[in-house]
């Protein structure tokens, strides 16, 4: 079968031919039809991602396709079933084996490209907001980096979940993208008084932070009592230090969050969330933005689009 693989640590991925896969106990064999690309793939090539497999390995974290066969002691889903799976790797090949407990059956109206594109970005925001922060209708959600890959999904899902959404992003163009995704209030990230602007809007019940740095510090100081801050990432490169005495005065919760971590100790949290998201996609309530759909032969071009930030939304490879 065809595969796009990293053959040794730090080497550029190559198109190679490999033997067909065989599912082991607890696994499904899936004919991969679409695979979403991620910045984590670029980190894996350099051996810098926290869950990089030992080379040689096939790139491609989030995949959708059809079950071909099941391994020993696997009850289903049966061959022929359309599924989506976050495998962590293996998606950029004609076939792949994945843990059966990670597979989610797709609604008939959700195509493979959509299923491959929404898993990480929407899954991150949905589990963070629903499971971790327990966002409630009517609460105020502040999204820092609201026009970014996961930030925009947080705006969209926060709106769907009934929250009042304040989007913080840099520049009018990015703020307009957040507005179209459902933001109720827009604040430019470069304003000198972000804390005061947030407080003037009533403060934050939940902060979704994939940026860190000064934006985190300003939002932290605009929290309501019993507010929750989701630490998603630190795109600014500035990991803020948290004054513990402020936490106790306002009864604030700081919630660290890593979506992929749940697959190791509570995979049902992820699969249940994806089931909800695929149903929303089937109903037309969410639709991931896919800027490029490329065949496997052009997988390197897709990675280059990510590296140069020339894509918007997702890049999907079809097989």
Considering 123-132, 149-158, 174-183, 251-260, the range whose residues carry the highest mean pLDDT is 123-132
Query: Are 74 and 86 in a shared domain?
Result: yes
Does any domain span residue 105? yes
Query: Are 98 and 167 in a shared domain?
Result: no
Query: Are 242 and 268 in a shared domain?
Result: no
- Evaluate if residue 149 carries a pLDDT over 80: no
Does any domain span residue 129? no
- Evaluate if residue 96 carries a pLDDT over 80: yes
Query: Are 247 and 291 in a shared domain?
Result: no
What is the Cβ-side half-sphere exposure of residue 261, based on CA atoms within 13 angstroms? Answer: 8
Whether the predicted model's global pTM rises above the 0.75 cut: yes
Query: Are 163 and 242 in a shared domain?
Result: yes
Query: Are 234 and 292 in a shared domain?
Result: no
Does any domain span residue 190? yes
3-class secondary-structure state, position 304: helix
SS3 content of the chain, % helix, strand, coil (to 5): 35, 30, 40
- Exposed (0-12), middle (13-18) or buried (19+): which is 68, by Cβ within 10 Å? middle
pLDDT confidence of 82, banded at 50, 70, 90? very high
In the listed set 257, 284, 307, which residue is the last one of a domain according to the structure?
257
Contact between residue 101 and residue 71 where contact means Cβ atoms under 8 Å apart: no
Query: Are 144 and 82 in a shared domain?
Result: no
pLDDT confidence of 137, banded at 50, 70, 90? very high
Query: Are 148 and 223 in a shared domain?
Result: yes
Does any domain span residue 130? no
Dihedral pair phi/psi, residue 48, rounded to 5°? -105, -5
In the listed set 257, 278, 296, which residue is the last one of a domain according to the structure?
257
Phi-psi region of 95 (alpha: psi -120 to 50; beta: other; left: phi over 0): beta
Does any domain span residue 127? no
Query: Are 26 and 98 in a shared domain?
Result: yes
Dihedral pair phi/psi, residue 278, rounded to 5°? -65, -35
pLDDT confidence of 99, banded at 50, 70, 90? very high
In the listed set 257, 282, 303, which residue is the last one of a domain according to the structure?
257
Which residue segment(s) compose the domain that 183 sits in? 136-257
Distance spanning both ends of the chain, measured CA to CA:
11
Does any domain span residue 131? no
pLDDT confidence of 248, banded at 50, 70, 90? confident
Q: Which residue has the tokens 């907001």?
A: 129
Does any domain span residue 101? yes
Count of domains for the chain: 2
- CATH code (residue 175): 3.40.50.720
Does any domain span residue 27? yes
- Exposed (0-12), middle (13-18) or buried (19+): which is 26, by Cβ within 10 Å? middle
What is the Cβ-side half-sphere exposure of residue 202, based on CA atoms within 13 angstroms? Answer: 11
Distance of CA 200 to the CA centre of its chain: 31
Query: Are 142 and 175 in a shared domain?
Result: yes
Query: pLDDT for 286-312, tens place per residue?
Result: 989 888 999 999 999 999 998 887 776
Query: Are 114 and 189 in a shared domain?
Result: no
pLDDT confidence of 315, banded at 50, 70, 90? very high
- CATH code (residue 33): 3.90.180.10
Query: Are 157 and 211 in a shared domain?
Result: yes
């Amino acid at each position: 079968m065809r595969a796009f693989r990293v053959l040794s640590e730090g080497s550029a991925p190559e198109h190679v031919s490999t033997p067909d896969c065989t599912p082991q106990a607890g696994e499904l064999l899936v004919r991969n039809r679409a695979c979403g690309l991620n910045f984590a793939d670029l980190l894996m090539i350099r051996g810098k991602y926290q869950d990089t497999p030992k080379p040689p390995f096939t790139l491609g974290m989030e995949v959708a396709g059809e079950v071909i066969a099941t391994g020993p002691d696997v009850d289903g889903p049966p061959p022929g079933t359309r599924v989506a799976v976050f495998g962590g790797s293996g998606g950029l090949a004609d076939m792949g084996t994945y843990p059966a407990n990670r597979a989610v059956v797709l609604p008939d109206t959700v195509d493979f490209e959509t299923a491959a594109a929404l898993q990480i970005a929407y899954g991150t925001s949905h589990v963070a907001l629903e499971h971790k922060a327990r966002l409630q209708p009517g609460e105020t959600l502040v999204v820092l980096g609201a026009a970014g890959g996961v930030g925009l999904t947080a705006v969209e899902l926060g709106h769907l979940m009934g929250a009042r959404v304040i989007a913080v992003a840099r520049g009018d163009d990015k703020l307009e993208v957040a507005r179209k995704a459902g933001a109720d209030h827009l604040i430019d990230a470069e304003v000198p008084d972000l804390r005061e602007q947030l407080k003037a809007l009533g403060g934050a019940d939940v902060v979704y932070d994939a940026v860190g740095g000064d934006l985190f510090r300003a939002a932290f100081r605009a929290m309501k009592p019993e507010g929750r801050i989701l630490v998603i990432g630190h795109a600014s490169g500035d990991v803020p230090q948290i004054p513990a005495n402020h936490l106790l005065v306002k009864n604030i919760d700081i919630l660290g969050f890593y979506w992929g971590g749940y697959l190791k100790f509570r995979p049902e949290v992820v699969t249940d969330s994806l089931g909800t998201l695929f149903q929303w996609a089937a109903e037309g309530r969410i639709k991931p933005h896919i800027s490029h759909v490329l065949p496997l032969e052009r997988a390197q071009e897709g990675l280059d689009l990510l590296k140069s930030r020339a894509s918007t939304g997702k890049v999907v490879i079809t097989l």
